[in-house]
Amino acid sequence: MTTSWLDLPADHPFGLATLPYGVFSTAADPRRRVGVRVGDHVLDAAAAAEQAGMESGVCWDRPSLNDFLSRGHHAWAAARAWLVEVLSDPMYRDAVEPHLLPVADVTMHLPFEVADYVDFYASEHHASNVGRIFRPDSEPLTPNWKHLPIGYHGRAGTVVVSGTDIVRPCGQRKAPSDPAPTFGPSRRLDIETELGFVVGGATPLGQPVPIDEAVEHLFGVVLLNDWSARDIQAWEYVPLGPFLGKSFGTSISAWVVPMAALEAAHVPLPGQDPQPLDYLRGDEGSVFGLDIHCEVRVNGTAVSRPEYADMYWSPTQMLAHLSVNGASLRDGDLFGSGTISGADRQTRGCLLELTWSGQEPVTLEDGTTRAFLEDGDTVTITGWAPGPDGARIGLGEVTGTIRPAFE
Amino acid sequence: MTTSWLDLPADHPFGLATLPYGVFSTAADPRRRVGVRVGDHVLDAAAAAEQAGMESGVCWDRPSLNDFLSRGHHAWAAARAWLVEVLSDPMYRDAVEPHLLPVADVTMHLPFEVADYVDFYASEHHASNVGRIFRPDSEPLTPNWKHLPIGYHGRAGTVVVSGTDIVRPCGQRKAPSDPAPTFGPSRRLDIETELGFVVGGATPLGQPVPIDEAVEHLFGVVLLNDWSARDIQAWEYVPLGPFLGKSFGTSISAWVVPMAALEAAHVPLPGQDPQPLDYLRGDEGSVFGLDIHCEVRVNGTAVSRPEYADMYWSPTQMLAHLSVNGASLRDGDLFGSGTISGADRQTRGCLLELTWSGQEPVTLEDGTTRAFLEDGDTVTITGWAPGPDGARIGLGEVTGTIRPAFE
């Protein structure tokens, strides 16, 4: 295992096996630029690259990761190798150390400009539970569910960085028993615990990405909270899908963890039956699950511990599917996995499922209960994965606090 | 009526009452920059502004309209007044005329970077017909349809300019009688005749746009063809809406016609019953239809003449709805009206309706018939509206040719 002259504890979630990318600024230097998290510091990547003589580091002197994303997977691998080298070989210490800033001194920003945002629905347990709740008189899974990764486009312009407050949305709500819809603040505001995949290496229109090449377009992952107004969603979503019930805000973690950091976390999928069509089947290694562990806290109380390994569809299957009609990829495309839910109640990734549509509220440590979120509630999702040689890969956190509706 | 020193015929669709914006380049000067169509010429707007001493014209020296869109409705009005002045007052002729290029000598590009793309479903006739075809055992309109303008997010990255070829998409298709889905090129490739609304004047997250201010964020309109693969769409769209059946390409006209050019085309809506909720009701003038006439040609044969005045929901209602949950607007947001269809067969805006799901093919002038589009087919949609004092406002055209599937 490579060690750093930074003298990090072996089990630090942001050791040399993680090295996530983000965009930061400081009070002294308010320019937004790319940073790399290492231990409890943020490396000013462009400044370090310049001093250490790495020319391609210029793509880090930008207010977003998009330029770096456009360089493609060979450049991402070379950059990661360079970072490991300069952070482990003492020869680089003098050049690099001045560009390490305490994480407490930086402000983090949205790490990339989101091009298109797609949200999938890749957990069989989540889709089944939602089907039972929203469509009690039908089969829980629709007939297409095991043939293709169901997904839809969300609003890219309302993806925000962790720490951004979320204003409770207003909209039309109508319970089946109501005679007509009413307008007002959502009464069923929910979270959705997801993993987000960040795409780079743009492709031309009309040319699908084969599944065996899909991983080359996956730059990294973020934790994602797809805030959902269940009452607005339930009334609007037939026939064209969720719209205002989702588009008011989607939060992502500030740190993008490279896919390269998750190689030790690849696991087999739980199993797919029926076997998917050819374009969703790849060579060995092309289709995989991820051994990522999440925790969801509401005002500090852990209410759920979703396991990403329970997901039915592979991220590479999602990417191959979304481009199989010739849709082009852009640097900065983001797709969410859909809510991460397992078979057990304590692994359900949203309150809709956890409280079974509000019928079985969860109790917080302060003794209060929640069917759905209240104004002032803070939701924090954390995550980690196993790394090489017993290392721990930290996924950081995505957090947000609910502000009262705009009235 | 203002006349131009250009000596345009009074009924020219691109007279001084139209003045649409686009982005062009020439062989001699390949920089993409903003142009204004006038008669059979394109005005190099930034160059003319510089020579005529208009400082704010710098936002036209850009490869997209987005900077101009960000300036807001007062700036749009001032720019339009300036254009009318310099194109009508002979005093400006010497400064402006050198920057008029024959339209045949320019190449047109995508006029703006599409931020988020939303597609609505605002024609009662279209929604009813599609309901009858896709869900023959249910009521044609879903219970929510007359309470809110149904919409969903589409793929912004695959919006292309008129003239771009469209590759027939592949995907999963399954007729109800098929035992399992199969993969291959769409067999039911369709058009959707729509109007697209181009948004400017960004708004902050969490703050809805009141309906009486909505028109201030509508910069202009384009003709829009929302190409649709009906077989892919029918199999995938339950429960989260259309995805790959739409995301392979959406074509828009190269010229964005300002909303200011359409003021003489405002007409009352056909009528809304039940009365919508308060946030969808505005002061007099805030809610309107548009007297826009379209023609759809397949390989030169006119197959339909949709009338925009038949649409149920106002563009301002669509904008107020899409932001009522606090979703922010960005410069370059685009929303489509949904297919424009009327009560009569000859006003239906897509082949799904025109041929009643392929059962009643249309006959082209060459004697061939079409249930859906074939490889090599060229679809052209044109449009016009009445202008002030008998002028005619040209909406130009959106055209595209189907190329064979990628295999």
pLDDT tens figures, A270-328: 999 999 999 999 998 999 999 999 999 999 999 999 999 999 999 999 999 999 999 99
From chain A, pick out residues whose CB is under 8 angstroms from the CB of B249. Answer: 205, 326
Closest residue, chain B, to A243 (C-alpha): B152
Domain assignment of residue B157, yes or no: yes
pLDDT tens figures, B197-223: 999 999 999 999 999 999 999 999 999
In this structure, is the dihedral angle defined by the CA atoms of residues A337, A339, A343 and A347, taken in order, positive or negative?
A: positive
Which among B66, B84, B109 is the end of a domain?
Answer: B109
Q: Which two tokens stand for residue B362?
A: 């249309």
Q: Decide which of B110 and B6 is more confident.
A: B110
- Give the number of beta-carbon pairs within 8 Å between A and B: 205
| Nearest CA among B266, B286, B161 for reference residue B215 | B286
Measured in angstroms, the CA of A275 and the nearest CA of chain B are apart by 11
Domain assignment of residue A175, yes or no: yes
Q: Are residues A146 and A88 part of one domain?
A: no
Domain assignment of residue B9, yes or no: no
- Give mean pLDDT, residues B290-314: 98
Q: Decide which of A2 and B49 is more confident.
A: B49
Q: Are residues B281 and B137 part of one domain?
A: yes
So what's the pLDDT on residue B1?
56
So what's the pLDDT on residue A70?
98
pLDDT tens figures, A130-144: 999 988 999 999 999
Share of chain A above pLDDT 90, in %: 94
The response to whether A246 counts as a known ligand-binding position is yes
Residues A79 and A68: beta-carbon distance below 8 Å: yes
B325 vs A171, A208, A239: nearest CB: A171
The response to whether B233 counts as a known ligand-binding position is yes
- Give mean pLDDT, residues B311-322: 98
Q: Are residues A368 and A349 part of one domain?
A: yes
Q: Are residues A249 and A138 part of one domain?
A: yes
Domain assignment of residue A62, yes or no: yes
Which among B109, B126, B156 is the end of a domain?
Answer: B109
Q: Are residues A247 and A137 part of one domain?
A: yes
In this prediction, residue A1 has a pLDDT band, given cuts at 50, 70 and 90, of: low
- What average pLDDT does chain B have? 96
A170 vs B131, B240, B324: nearest CB: B324
Residues B395 and B223: beta-carbon distance below 8 Å: yes
Distance CA A318, CA A357 (A): 28
pLDDT tens figures, A244-267: 999 999 999 999 999 999 999 999
Q: Are residues B102 and B130 part of one domain?
A: no
Segments forming the whole domain that contains residue A78: 21-109
Domain assignment of residue B10, yes or no: no
Active-site positions of B? 126
- Give mean pLDDT, residues A370-397: 97
Cα→Cα distances A250→A21, A191, A247, B41, B259, Å? 19, 10, 7, 45, 32
Domain assignment of residue A244, yes or no: yes
Domain assignment of residue B13, yes or no: no
In this prediction, residue B43 has a pLDDT band, given cuts at 50, 70 and 90, of: very high
Which among B58, B86, B109 is the end of a domain?
Answer: B109
- What average pLDDT does chain A have? 96
Q: Are residues A158 and A226 part of one domain?
A: yes
Q: Are residues A200 and A58 part of one domain?
A: no
Give the DSSP per-residue string, B212-226: HHHGGGEEEEEEEE-
Q: Are residues B193 and B65 part of one domain?
A: no
The response to whether B246 counts as a known ligand-binding position is yes
Closest residue, chain B, to A128 (C-alpha): B239
Domain assignment of residue A364, yes or no: yes
Q: Burial level of A71, CB count in 10 A (0-12/13-18/19+)?
A: middle
Cα→Cα distances B188→B215, B291, B367, B375, Å? 37, 31, 20, 11
Q: Are residues B124 and B96 part of one domain?
A: no
Share of chain B above pLDDT 70, in %: 100
| Nearest CA among A322, A320, A323, A257 for reference residue A290 | A257
Q: Are residues B208 and B59 part of one domain?
A: no
So what's the pLDDT on residue A219?
98
Interface test with A, best of B199, B325, B330 (most A CBs within 10 A): B325
pLDDT of A377 above 80:
yes
Residues A406 and A170: beta-carbon distance below 8 Å: yes
B325 vs A118, A174, A232: nearest CB: A232
In this prediction, residue B260 has a pLDDT band, given cuts at 50, 70 and 90, of: very high
- Give mean pLDDT, residues B270-299: 97
Domain count, chain A: 2
pLDDT tens figures, B104-118: 999 999 999 999 999
pLDDT of B334 above 80:
yes
Report the CATH number that the domain containing residue A68 is assigned in CATH. 2.30.30.230
| Nearest CA among B338, B349, B159 for reference residue B254 | B159
